[in-house]
Structure 1
Amino acid sequence: MMNETVVSSSHKPYAKLFAALFSGLIVATIGLYAGQFVPRALFFPLAIVEIIMLFMMIFARKRKSMGYLMMYAFMLISGLTLYPAISYYVSALGADVVLRAAGITAIAFGGTALYAVISKRDFRFLGSFLFISVLALLAMGILQIFFPVSGTAQLIYSAFGIFIFIGYTLYDFSRLTINGFTDRDIPMIVVSIYLDIVNLFLYILRFIGVLNDD
């Protein structure tokens, strides 16, 4: 028990983590900007590359130099593949609404992360539920492609997505606070946090978009 306490209290290089997250978000933003110059036919192959890189990072997470290199490459490609969705919402809702959604995302994410860190409550029990919920989200998203659903159903789906990624934020920061982490873990942690932010942002945009249609 004493060893566990020492590990969880001493191995928390938060300054390096947030510096890496900030730099990663800058790289993703550059990718998002560059996305406007990418031919439409390349977005699907890039999405496949993004998924492959995510799995590669899981296996390479203990190699510090490789981890950071892959982290920035993943962020760049993710920014590129994010462009069609952001472009669609900017044209459908307006740039001001998208910026407002980004602000809501920042507040929701920041507040949830701070609560998990300051309260030190253990939310690790959410792991299995969140994983199953993400699979359910994916299945429901695929079904919506083939079977049209009502605006109410889309609103519930979007709200469920927001709920799930707020839960993932609690889960991820709870693990960091209780388990601790080392420098070598940072690239994979940054990618996990980035995915929490991006998915939360996209589901908030989807929620606003459905409300707008109604």
Structure 2
Amino acid sequence: MNSSPYEIAQTRGVAATNSLIRNTYTLLAMTLLFSAATAAFAMALDLRGPGLLLTLVGYFGLLFAVHKLQNSAWGILAVFALTGFMGFTLGPIVGMYLKMFSNGHQLVMTALGGSGAIFLGLSTYALTSKRDFSFMGGFLFAGVMVAFLTGLAAVFLQIPALSLAVSAMFVLLMSAAILYQTSALVHGGETNYLLATVGLYVSMYNLFLSLLQLLGFASGED
């Protein structure tokens, strides 16, 4: 019996979704490894962080490049440039924790393991349950904007308690973002694997940093 046009379209849709998910997670794994390499490079040379302003300019500039080149072969290069830059900025932060706390290695590994476990757990749930989390889009945008501006205020006003509150907010927001972004892959909310990769990477990056700061405050040993 010949398949109906609907069944053919549905089969092609499933194949396209599976290909999108596979490409996204393959590229994500590669960018995480590249980011770890650039972070290790910065730590090996004992480099200082580029500073808040340069970090923001570099991040948003490279993010703009990814969006501009999302349908071009150059887009992959832009993705690696962005994630490599973010890894480079991460190196001095991790190095600071290793120097500042006698149990710094434990803190870093715990934050890394926690981030990985949260990501795998939430991604697996979104992929297997196939629940649509698109309703979270507006909440996430508003929440990230509030947390970002509050974080800037905490930096300029030098209020440690406010920084910790922002870190706790980001743990929750990035966890929700992973659900939202993975759901978008399944339900067609995101069809470009370069943008999907960057979105998931940024969520994991912020999740790791936020967990590291919370762990440093709660169980760091001088």
Task: Place the TM-score, normalised by the shorter chain, in its bin.
Answer: 0.7 to 0.9
Contact 2:154 2:160 in 1 (8 A): no
1:39 to 1:45, Cα distance in 2 relative to 1, 3 A: farther
Q: 1:72 aligns with which of 80, 94, 108?
A: 80
Q: 2:31 aligns with which of 24, 32, 40?
A: 24
Q: Which has the higher contact order (CA 8 A, sep 6+)?
A: 1
User: TM-score of the superposition, structure 2-length normalised?
Assistant: 0.83
Paired with 2:132 and 2:10, the residues of 1 have a C-alpha distance of 14
Paired with 2:79 and 2:141, the residues of 1 have a C-alpha distance of 22
1:124 to 1:96, Cα distance in 2 relative to 1, 3 A: same
Alignment-mate amino acid for residue 65 of structure 2: M
Give 2:197's aligned residue. Answer: 190
* Cα-to-partner distance string for 1:1-32 (whole Å, 9 max, x where unaligned): x5985565221213332221111111111110
Runs of 5+ unmatched residues, structure 2: 1-5
Shift of 1:136: 0.6
Give the stretch that moved more between structures: 22-31 or 7-16.
Answer: 7-16
1:121 is paired with a residue whose SS is coil
Which one has a larger percent helix, Structure 1 or Structure 2?
1
Instruction: Spell out structure 1 runs of 4+ moving beyond 6 A.
Output: none
Paired with 1:79 and 1:123, the residues of 2 have a C-alpha distance of 29
1:5 to 1:175, Cα distance in 2 relative to 1, 3 A: farther
Alignment-mate amino acid for residue 62 of structure 1: N
Paired with 1:136 and 1:5, the residues of 2 have a C-alpha distance of 40
Alignment-mate amino acid for residue 188 of structure 2: N
* Cα-to-partner distance string for 1:100-147 (whole Å, 9 max, x where unaligned): 111111101110011011111110111111011111111111221243
Alignment-mate amino acid for residue 179 of structure 1: G
Q: 1:172 aligns with which of 173, 178, 181?
A: 181
1:74 to 1:168, Cα distance in 2 relative to 1, 3 A: same
Contact 1:123 1:174 in 2 (8 A): yes
* Cα-to-partner distance string for 1:66-106 (whole Å, 9 max, x where unaligned): 11111111121111111122122222341122101111111
Give the stretch that moved more between structures: 2-11 or 108-117.
Answer: 2-11
Alignment-mate amino acid for residue 30 of structure 2: S
Contact 1:101 1:201 in 2 (8 A): yes
Paired with 1:204 and 1:159, the residues of 2 have a C-alpha distance of 8
Q: 2:127 aligns with which of 107, 113, 117?
A: 117
Runs of 5+ unmatched residues, structure 1: none
Shift of 1:201: 0.6
Alignment-mate amino acid for residue 69 of structure 2: A
Give 1:211's aligned residue. Answer: 218
1:84 to 1:4, Cα distance in 2 relative to 1, 3 A: farther
* Cα-to-partner distance string for 1:194-214 (whole Å, 9 max, x where unaligned): 111111111111111222369
Q: Which structure has the larger Rg?
A: 2
Paired with 2:9 and 2:180, the residues of 1 have a C-alpha distance of 19
1:129 to 1:6, Cα distance in 2 relative to 1, 3 A: farther
1:136 to 1:32, Cα distance in 2 relative to 1, 3 A: same
